[in-house]
Structure 1
Amino acid sequence: MTTLQNERLRRPAGIRSIRLGDTKVSYVPDGDVRLRPLQLLPDTTDEVWAAHPEYLDATGHLVGSVGGLLVEHGGRALLIDTGFGPQEFGMPDGPLGAIHGGALLAGLAELGRSPEDIEAVAFTHLHSDHLGWACHPAPGGARPALAHAEYLISEAEWERRDLLEEQGMAEQAAALAPHVRTITDGEEVFPGVRARITPGHTVGHAEYVITGGGRRLIAFGDAVHSPIQIDHPDWSSAFDHDPARTAGHRRRLVAELSEPGTIGFGVHFADVVFGHVRQDGTGPAWHPVDS
């Protein structure tokens, strides 16, 4: 990557949009996350991170984005994931250093959309940094900001919502329940948008493949947390439910993202959320795409 691109690896993403023919796809930031690299990717070492300081901020944390993906087509709007919501959280040890959200509604407004414009929310999985505004009210409101929309969740993920309750998220599960419609592998959930069920990070993790204008974009959720995993797909995250299964899927995904006309979207990547994979010297590498 260039010096400018390296700088982008140390800051969270702002609003970024690309076009796929008649479909516009925009990253809508909600906040950011700071992660402890050795704990997030247990197969890495101090030597790995010493060789890749471009990924770390001044405090030695891996910088990630938190937000959603707005898909607009023919006046209609779909949102994939909803950020963390108006809250913040941190832990003294473990992978998660700090996370905060709250900006997604302002980002939608900047893109000319209100929450009421969103006809459906398609979730990649049921972790709190993806459920945010589906469970939290807008300022001054009583209902969740997106409660008017359908909540699209893979069948396998929703069947195991007991895992949410085990994690102390019974309230979030209850907030989601009245709005849920389960979806299956290959189902078209919006014009040009198909679900692809890819268990590993969670039991029913979903990706969304968006096609238009002769190109396709794969919103791969938490199958990959950082661009460094593109170079090293065997490095699974501490948050992965099944690390071996996720690593196998990630190897296939990296090969797919190398194909012509294919773009990836990494919701937790730093300011390089859209990109594609090129073979650079010793192996694959993530290259940002901004239009």
Structure 2
Amino acid sequence: MTETTAVRAGRLNRPSRIRSLQLGDTKVSYVPDGAVRVRPLELLGDTTAEVWDAHPEYLDATGHLVGSVGALLVEHGGRALLIDAGFGPQEQEVPDGPIARIRGGELLDRLAELGRAPSDIEAVAFTHLHSDHLGWACHRVPGSDLPVFTDAAYLVSGPEWAGRDLLADQGMAEQVAALAPRVRTVEDGQEVFPGVHVRIAPGHTVGHAEYVITGGGRRLIAFGDALHSPIQIDRPDWSSAFDHDPERTADHRHRLVAELAEPDTIGFGVHLADVVFGRVLREGDGPAWQPVDA
């Protein structure tokens, strides 16, 4: 499916369903947890009303950007890794600021559709410690003191965990405390699962991590919140209101977009509507982000 077809199909303004790709012996699957509706001018402060008037394909009928909320399941040789953990079984409506409404709650059901129970997950590797990525990792099995992912280690970049006091100051002390007993810090370049290497790309947060997954002659870059919307592929200088260091994030995003244009390279953006897997193609008149569905 071309990006132009994706526009016609409405994929840029709806949350993603389950989508899977095969990278040699490794299978990667987007696992939906819910969706987020975002006020575009508040999220991307360098944009204008004229920008969004020119690109209505990114907005729903209420004028909001629609993003996906979920996780990436990585399976290899019977083993299973989860990258991020969705928003969890909750819903919030926010009267002002970038987020208008965010909901989670589907992730365990969608995992089951993919043939996986939470106990199958050997580790949850976080891109960063924001609530829409921690989600289910902070919840308990109903009627038990056990976490939902009963056997999983929680992998957090060393710099991100070292800066966790910043999250406590933002009202997330409870989530940090819930994670702490299972946290194992990881460092730049470390292999955390067969064919999965972490690379630390600060900017969105102090120790934001990306995960590079290789197999079958291809690589996939799970880039976390380096990008919040496909429109940023065309304008990587547009940073998000949630970026801890907007200038640093923009610099990294320029490099990331160039990397995603390299041969045999696929990107995964957990929030990128129904085009979570894609590649960058700079030719033609349409947007550069083209979905990859196989």
TM-score between both structures, scaled by the size of structure 2: 0.97
Task: Find the aligned partners of 1:64 and 1:203 in 2 and give their Cα distance.
Answer: 23
4+ residue runs over 6 A deviation: none
Alignment equivalent of 1:256, drawn from 245, 253, 259: 259
The answer to whether structure 1 residue 163 and structure 2 residue 169 are counterparts is no
The answer to whether structure 1 residue 108 and structure 2 residue 133 are counterparts is no
Q: Corresponding residue for 1:34?
A: 37
Q: Corresponding residue for 1:238?
A: 241
Q: Residue 125 of structure 1 contacts residue 204 of structure 1 at CA under 8 Å; is this kept in 2?
A: yes
Compared CA separation, residues 223 and 197, structure 1 to 2 (3 A) = same
Task: Find the aligned partners of 2:86 and 2:265 in 1 and give their Cα distance.
Answer: 25
Compared CA separation, residues 45 and 279, structure 1 to 2 (3 A) = same
Q: Residue 231 of structure 1 contacts residue 283 of structure 1 at CA under 8 Å; is this kept in 2?
A: no
RMSD: 1.2
What is the Cα deviation at residue 281 of structure 1? Answer: 3.9
Alignment equivalent of 2:55, drawn from 15, 40, 52: 52
Task: Find the aligned partners of 2:231 and 2:119 in 1 and give their Cα distance.
Answer: 37
The answer to whether structure 1 residue 266 and structure 2 residue 269 are counterparts is yes
Compared CA separation, residues 98 and 127, structure 1 to 2 (3 A) = same
Q: Residue 13 of structure 2 contacts residue 59 of structure 2 at CA under 8 Å; is this kept in 1?
A: yes
The answer to whether structure 1 residue 67 and structure 2 residue 61 are counterparts is no
What is the Cα deviation at residue 138 of structure 1? Answer: 3.8
The answer to whether structure 1 residue 285 and structure 2 residue 292 are counterparts is no
Q: Corresponding residue for 1:9?
A: 12
Task: Find the aligned partners of 1:150 and 1:103 in 2 and give their Cα distance.
Answer: 22
Task: Find the aligned partners of 1:192 and 1:138 in 2 and give their Cα distance.
Answer: 30
Q: Residue 119 of structure 2 contacts residue 150 of structure 2 at CA under 8 Å; is this kept in 1?
A: no
Task: Find the aligned partners of 2:215 and 2:270 in 1 and give their Cα distance.
Answer: 20
- 1:268-291 C-alpha deviation (Å, 9 max, x unpaired): 010000000001346971000011
What is the Cα deviation at residue 163 of structure 1? Answer: 1.2
The alignment partner of 1:168 has SS state of helix
What is the Cα deviation at residue 4 of structure 1? Answer: 4.0
Alignment equivalent of 1:85, drawn from 83, 88, 93: 88
The answer to whether structure 1 residue 209 and structure 2 residue 207 are counterparts is no
The answer to whether structure 1 residue 136 and structure 2 residue 139 are counterparts is yes
What is the Cα deviation at residue 91 of structure 1? Answer: 1.1
Q: Residue 147 of structure 1 contacts residue 179 of structure 1 at CA under 8 Å; is this kept in 2?
A: no
Q: Corresponding residue for 2:189?
A: 186
The alignment partner of 1:151 has SS state of strand
Total equivalences in the alignment: 291
Task: Find the aligned partners of 1:123 and 1:114 in 2 and give their Cα distance.
Answer: 19
Worse-matched range after superposition: 170-179 or 133-142: 133-142
Q: Residue 134 of structure 1 contacts residue 147 of structure 1 at CA under 8 Å; is this kept in 2?
A: no
Q: Corresponding residue for 1:22?
A: 25
Q: Residue 231 of structure 2 contacts residue 287 of structure 2 at CA under 8 Å; is this kept in 1?
A: no
Task: Find the aligned partners of 1:146 and 1:117 in 2 and give their Cα distance.
Answer: 8
- 1:70-97 C-alpha deviation (Å, 9 max, x unpaired): 0000000000000000001121111010
Alignment equivalent of 1:96, drawn from 96, 99, 108: 99
Q: Identity percentage over the alignment?
A: 76
| Structure 2: stretches of 5+ with no match in the other structure | none
Task: Find the aligned partners of 2:82 and 2:244 in 1 and give their Cα distance.
Answer: 25
Task: Find the aligned partners of 1:107 and 1:45 in 2 and give their Cα distance.
Answer: 37
Letter in 2 for 1:2: T
The alignment partner of 2:13 has SS state of coil
Task: Find the aligned partners of 1:246 and 1:126 in 2 and give their Cα distance.
Answer: 16
Alignment equivalent of 1:154, drawn from 154, 157, 177: 157
The alignment partner of 2:14 has SS state of coil
Task: Find the aligned partners of 2:143 and 2:117 in 1 and give their Cα distance.
Answer: 15
The alignment partner of 1:280 has SS state of coil
Task: Find the aligned partners of 1:283 and 1:244 in 2 and give their Cα distance.
Answer: 27
Task: Find the aligned partners of 1:278 and 1:117 in 2 and give their Cα distance.
Answer: 36
